[in-house]
Amino acid sequence: MLFLLAAGLTLVFGIMDMINLAHGSLYMLGAFFASALVEATGSFVAGVLLAIPATALAGMLLERTLLRTLYARDHLSQVLATFALILILNELVRIVWGSDRPLAMPAALSGPVELLPGLYYSSYRLLIIGVGLAVALLLHWLVARTRLGMWVRAGASNREMALAMGVDIGMLFTFVFGLGAALCAVAGALLSPLLAVQVGMGENILIVAFVVIVIGGIGSIRGAFVGALLVGAIDTLGRTLLPIAFGAFLPPQFASAAGPAIASISIYLLMAVVLFFRPQGLFQARG
Amino acid sequence: MHEPNVKVWLGPALAAALAIALPLALRALGQVFYVSFASQVLIYALAATSLNLVLGYGGMVSFGHAAFVGAGAYVASLLLHAGVESAWIAWPAAMVVAAAIALATGAISLRTRGVYFIMITLAFAQMLFYLANSIKAWGGDEGLTLARRPAFGFGVDLADDVSFYYVVLALLAAALFALHRLAGSRFGHAVVAVRENETRAEAIGLPVFRTRLACFVIGGAVGGLAGALLACHGKYVNPNVLHWTQSGTLMIMVILGGVGRLWGGVLGAAALLGLERFLADFRIGWLAALVPNYAQHTSLAVGVVLLAAVLFAPRGLAGWRRARDG
Amino acid sequence: MAEALLSVRALAKRFGGVLATDGVSLDLVAGELHALIGPNGAGKTTLLAQLAGSLTPDAGSIVFEGHDIAALAQHRRVAAGIARSYQITSLFARLSVRDNLALAVQARSGSSFVFWKPRSEEKALFEHADALAVTIGLAGRAGTRAEALSHGEQRALEVGLALATRPRLLLLDEPMAGLGPEETARMIVLIERVRDSTTVLLVEHDMDAVFRLAARISVLVNGRVLASGSPEAIRANAGVRRAYLGEDLAT
């Protein structure tokens, strides 16, 4: 799921050269839309599916009206303007829907699935992994095999050349942004039963998404994929292994505190290390 | 900036006079509560000014300044909690620790450019945030409460809000004066050179990396002082002071107030906090009709103002321009 | 033969598949103006960058006044006496001519880690800057912002910034770039003035200027030194004529 967010983010950054802090807000919108639509339609699937175009539309609207003007601006302006958007969107959502909403896991998927004899895994989490992989494949197909994807790649590596080749940059950008928003919606809707739908949910995951794309290389979807995997792995390993490791030679109260602390820090350490050796990230999309 | 010209000193002199008179006026009006608020504005002004030095004057877009402010807040709080009574120990200690953190993180961060610099400064701040959040001895996610404000000596009782205000005012004034001298010094000119054209600065022989690092550290140290004052003001510290949204808040103040201008931090802090306070304390009829509990949504107003400032009012951004971005 | 101020031996620099500097060896004699010419893409600017310190060579040695400086960072080379001007004007655009020069003087004379004392009180610094302004012919424009200067004036300031560091070796990268005939003439006069007190390595395309100013010329083609010698020898060299100069200069 982190990959979905990271992919959208890296596309926007790579192609439009824009730092979009409000990307997390689209994730939040996706979750809120899903929650509202599930309630309206009574069906989990319908709610989630409808939330995707709704969020994509919202994203594209935002892009056409406000974000266009930021493409030409410097990074500081982009950071501040999109930070402003976070504030605005957070409050607007709070006004319309309140601070949080429920979104329950569908009954059919709340049970565990037996993968191997004796090895149980939550079927919902399996769904998430499955969707993540499916989207990854879909994106790969889109970017690597279709004409549209070719334009996207051209735009990512060299914008001026793409323009010169007659690619309609305006529509392309809007599309890319909409695609990113759609990815956010999928992630937001699917993760909500696990993480809760609330105002501000976007910010926490946004930073991690940025770390992922910095590690993976800005503009590279492959990088976003690898980065998300790495970050997820480090985070999980940190949370599970470190407390055990520390417990071996530290008194219990330290081990239980230090473990999660270091685990949280570990992904940032990873980013620092990667940047130290490869300042452009692991994969490079920009020419 | 340093001509011994009456016009140049008139503005600051007026500001100083107003600031000095403020608590007395408030006391006369029976609104002493606002003195505490005024202290808060001054403290944030100091924090925003320290960021402005790094971001506006130095041209380094750091998104992790909360790390230094927060570090200062925690150092002061932990010392006071552990039994240290004097502000003369707690506050300089906060500055030293913040400076040390700035030195360590800056030495690594400043090897990167552009968005990578933004990200890595952010990352370091987040690391501190998670650290503070996890360590129970530091209060964990609930933070620390202080029994009382530190002792200042010289017959000044910091527990009295008015006295605290004047101490903060004195510190802010001292900091502004020091930064004014800095801007006119060789170092100040070197910082500007590095900001304006890094390659040429290097080519004429200026030590670019060390200049930037020194600027970063000074900004960090002053930020640490602001953090210490913040903790002592509210007698409370928690990890939120290290959160990246705090860095964002400081950046908003810098933008609103004037990037790279000496008084930018002061104006920005006054504008932002003033706006929030105004919305919270004074009822706006038509707004209340539209959104009944609008006072709980001040962030919306802040967001709109900030967006408008970025899009339409480069006045705040006028003093800043990236030289060459990597 | 006079002691070489700068000795370059077997210098090499590769960018991916391109060998920009291919075993370059060069000697500069103190007090001479040595011109480096060659077609576009020959690697002149790359060579200059390695001498100045903004690029690290892959192999070879650079010995300046008896010391191997190949590992020295750029700002330390400036302190050691090597300065460079740029082919594409790179000034402190929003600062005045005076401030531009003052910065360069500041960098060369004492530490920039002075935090309290106002620089405006340093009389000597500004005297030096003002004298430089006179040398480069911009004394009347000292208060003008660099970005408001004409192209020729900017190129002069370019040279001025490099001069301000009181170099013993001055690397000039196409100072005449983009100048009209009148401005070129002024630049030639400026360089002649500079030549009296500093050793100069001049990279230029303007052949008239080169033959007028240079004591010795080296020709760089494809990253290698094709020929090196007096202007007459270069003019007469058949290989050079073939590779670069063209027939019309044989007369």
Over chain B, what is the mean pLDDT? Answer: 85
Crossing angle of helices B208-234 and B66-81, rounded to 10°:
50
For range A164-174, the mean pLDDT:
73
Three-state DSSP class for B97?
A: helix
Region C147-154: mean pLDDT is 90
What's the pLDDT score for residue A285? 54
Report whether pLDDT(B2) > 70.
no
The pLDDT of residue B276 is above 60: yes
Say if the Cβ atoms of B297 and A76 lie within 8 Å: no
Q: Using a CB-CB distance cutoff of 8 angstroms, which residues of chain C are in contact with residue B192?
A: 95
Residue of C nearest to B189 (CA): C103
Instruction: Quote the minimal CA–CA distance from C251 to chain B in Å.
Output: 40
- Residue pairs between chains B and C whose CB atoms are closer than 8 Å: 104
Q: What is the mean pLDDT of residues B96-112?
A: 92
Residue-averaged pLDDT of chain C: 86
A203 neighbourhood in chain B, CB within 8 Å:
244-245
Residue C86 near chain B (CB below 8 Å): yes
Determine contact: C199 vs chain B, CB below 8 A.
Answer: no
Give chain B positions within 8 Å (CB) of A69.
311
- The answer on pLDDT for B145 being more than 80 is yes
Determine if the pTM surpasses 0.90: no
Q: What is the pLDDT of residue B319?
A: 38
Does the pLDDT of residue C247 top 50, yes or no?
Answer: no
Mean pLDDT of C104-117: 87
CA distance A145 to chain B (A): 30
Give exposure, A253-283, as e/b (b: 16+ Cβ within 10 Å): eebbbbbbbbbbbbbbebbbebbeeeebbbb
Residues of C in contact with B202 (CB under 8 A): 54, 74-75
Query: Given an 8 Å threshold on Cβ–Cβ distance, is B200 in contact with C52?
Result: no
Residue A213 backbone zone (phi > 0: left; psi -120 to 50: alpha; other: beta): alpha
CA C155 – CA C137 distance, rounded (Å): 11
Do the beta carbons of residue B275 and residue B301 sit within 8 Å?
yes
> B178 CB near a chain A CB, below 8 Å?
no
Residue whose structure tokens are 């391109």 = C18
Query: In the structure encoding, which two tokens stand for residue C181, read together?
Result: 């005939």
pLDDT digits (tens, 9 = 90+) for B148-190: 889 888 888 888 888 899 999 999 999 999 999 999 999 999 9
Q: Do A218 and B115 touch (CB under 8 A)?
A: yes
Using DSSP's 3-state secondary structure scheme, residue A115 falls into strand
Q: Confidence class of residue A286 from pLDDT cuts 50, 70 and 90?
A: very low
Which residue, among B324, B289, B248, B274, has the nearest Cα to B59 in the 3D structure?
B324
Name residues whose C-beta falls within 8 Å of residue B279's C-beta, 6 or more positions apart in sequence.
Answer: B294, B295, B298, B301
Q: Judge whether residue C90 has pLDDT over 80.
A: yes
Query: How far A146 CA sits from the closest chain B CA (Å)?
Result: 30
Question: Which of B1, B5, B180, B200 is the best residue to mutate to test the C interface, defined by the most C CB atoms within 10 Å of its own CB?
Answer: B200
pLDDT tier at C2, thresholds 50, 70, 90: low
Contacts of B211 in chain C (CB under 8 A): 112
Q: Which of B115, B134, B303 sits opposite A75 (nearest CB)?
A: B115
Instruction: Please compute the mean of the pLDDT values over residues C96-116 and round it to a whole number.
Output: 89
- Contact across the interface for B186 and C112, Cβ inside 8 Å: yes
Residue B154 three-state SS: coil
The answer to which of A93-102, B226-235, B297-306, C119-128 has the lowest mean pLDDT is A93-102
- What is chain A's length? 287
Report residue A162's pLDDT band, with 50, 70 and 90 as the boundaries: low
Residue-wise pLDDT tens digits, B33-70? 888 899 999 999 999 999 999 998 999 999 999 999 99
Locate B193 and state its tokens: 């050179």
Quick one: closest CA in B to A206, which residue? B244
The pLDDT of residue B73 = 95
Using the beta-carbon criterion (under 8 Å), do C54 and B204 form an inter-chain contact?
Answer: no
Could you read off the pLDDT of A110-131 as tens digits, one per residue? 555 555 555 666 667 777 777 8
Note whether C touches B: 3 CB pairs or more under 8 A: yes
Nearest to C35 by CA among C193, C216, C242, C233: C216
CB contact under 8 A, B116 and A279: yes
Q: Which residue of C has its CA nearest to B214?
A: C113
CA B81 remoteness from chain centre: 24
Average pLDDT over residues A139-147: 75
Residue in A closest to B112 by C-alpha: A279
Count of C-beta atoms within a 10 Å radius of residue B113? 14
Residue B215: its pLDDT value, please?
A: 96
What pLDDT is attached to residue A251?
Answer: 64
pLDDT at B245: 84
A-contacting residues in B 49-88 (Cβ below 8 Å): 55, 61, 63
Segment C5-62, tens digit of pLDDT = 888 888 888 888 888 888 888 888 888 899 998 888 778 888 988 998 888 888 888 9
- Tell me the per-residue pLDDT of C199-237, one tens digit each, with 9 for 90 and over: 999 999 888 889 899 999 998 888 888 888 888 888 888
- A176-227 pLDDT, tens digit per residue, is 888 888 888 888 888 777 777 777 777 778 888 888 888 887 777 778 888 8
- Chain A partners of B120 at a C-beta cutoff of 8 Å? 271-272, 275
Top mean-pLDDT range of A87-101, B147-161, B299-313: B147-161
Which chain B residues contact residue A75 at CB under 8 A?
Answer: 61, 114-115, 118, 325
The rounded distance, in Å, linking the Cα atoms of C160 and C172 is 11
Residue A274: pLDDT over 90: no
| Subunits in contact with chain C (3 or more CB pairs closer than 8 Å) | B
> What digits encode the pLDDT tens for the residues B187-222?
999 999 999 999 889 888 889 999 999 999 999 999
Number of neighbouring beta carbons within 10 Å of residue B95: 23
Whole-number pLDDT of residue B21:
85
Using alpha carbons, select from A137, A146, A179 the residue that is nearest to residue A14. Answer: A179
Q: What is the pLDDT of residue B43?
A: 96
Residue C1 pLDDT = 46
> Is residue A257 over pLDDT 70?
no
Determine the distance in angstroms separating the CA of B57 from the nearest CA of chain C, rounded to an integer.
Answer: 14
What is the distance in angstroms between the Cα of A28 and the nearest Cα belonging to chain B? 16
